[in-house]
């Protein structure tokens, strides 16, 4: 079982395709996957795992799941972050998402949940029984916010310094990542963002041009990590 995510992203870029929202990005990617791989089932917002926390059930959903008839599956998590900018030729007006520190964490939290599915620890989680054999997973961020891929000239005690995902940054397996200083409770998927993230693999961030305007500057770039 195999799919080529990078070729689809490059195709979208070559077609100057930009999206109004993350939901549209998710839909267009799922549609393209189903068109290219008709023998697979492509589903969105799939309940992939759950766990009991203080007698309450926490459910984890995956953006896109590609599966075959035997229950082998590939998972895709994606983020689409924008700055405030008009693209009148597409009839699109983007809002400014801001909060790039939280955006960095959320992208890494996606990556962490993909690793969770790969490990499939049944002592901690209850997994969707229809998802039988993990093949691989992809975490994608597509953005026109330069702060995600550019190295920032900031103080070494920046709150998010352990969550940097700039071009050529890397994550070492087994090293806990946490906010540099204690911060308030924020929530992503109802999980506090003040948790530590520990990864089972090394990852390097290699940002690539996506763009809607190749003749001048590349507005959009993407990073694609495979688990």
Structure tokens at 6: 């990078």
pTM value is: 0.89
CB of 136 closer than 8 Å to CB of 226: yes
pLDDT of residue 191: 66
What is the helix (H) or strand (E) element at residue 64, kind and residue range?
strand 56-67
CB of 144 closer than 8 Å to CB of 83: yes
- Residue 185's CB: how many other CB atoms inside 10 A? 7
pLDDT of residue 10: 94
Q: What is the chain's pLDDT, residue by residue, as a tens digit (227 residues)?
A: 899 999 999 999 988 888 999 999 999 999 999 999 999 999 999 999 988 877 888 889 999 999 999 999 999 999 999 988 888 887 888 888 878 888 999 999 999 999 999 999 888 888 999 899 999 999 999 999 999 998 766 555 667 778 889 999 999 999 999 887 665 556 666 667 778 899 999 999 999 999 766 555 568 999 999 99
pLDDT of residue 215: 55
Alpha-carbon gap, residue 175 to 184, rounded angstroms = 22
List the end-to-end C-alpha distance of the chain, in Å, as a whole number.
15
| 63 phi-psi bin (left φ>0, alpha ψ -120 to 50, beta other) | alpha
């Amino acid at each position: 079982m195999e799919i080529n995510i990078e070729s689809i992203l490059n195709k979208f870029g070559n077609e100057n395709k930009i999206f109004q929202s993350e939901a549209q990005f998710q839909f267009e990617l799922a549609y393209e996957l189903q068109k290219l791989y008709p023998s697979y089932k492509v589903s969105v917002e799939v309940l992939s795992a759950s766990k009991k926390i203080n007698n309450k059930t926490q459910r984890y959903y995956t953006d896109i799941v590609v599966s075959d008839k035997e229950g082998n599956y590939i998972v895709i998590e994606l983020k689409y972050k924008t700055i405030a900018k008009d693209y009148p030729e597409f009839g699109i007006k983007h809002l400014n998402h801001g909060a790039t520190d939280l955006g960095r964490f959320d992208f890494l939290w996606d990556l962490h949940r993909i690793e969770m599915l790969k490990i499939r620890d049944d002592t901690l989680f209850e997994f969707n029984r229809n998802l039988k054999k993990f093949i691989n997973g992809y975490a994608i961020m597509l953005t026109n916010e330069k702060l995600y891929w550019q190295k920032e000239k900031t103080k070494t005690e920046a709150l998010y310094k352990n969550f940097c995902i700039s071009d050529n940054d890397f994550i070492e397996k087994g090293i806990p990542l946490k906010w540099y200083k204690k911060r308030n409770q924020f929530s992503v998927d109802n999980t506090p963002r003040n948790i530590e993230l520990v990864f089972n693999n090394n990852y390097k961030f290699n940002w690539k041009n996506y763009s809607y305007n190749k003749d001048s500057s590349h507005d959009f770039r993407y990073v694609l990590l495979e688990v």
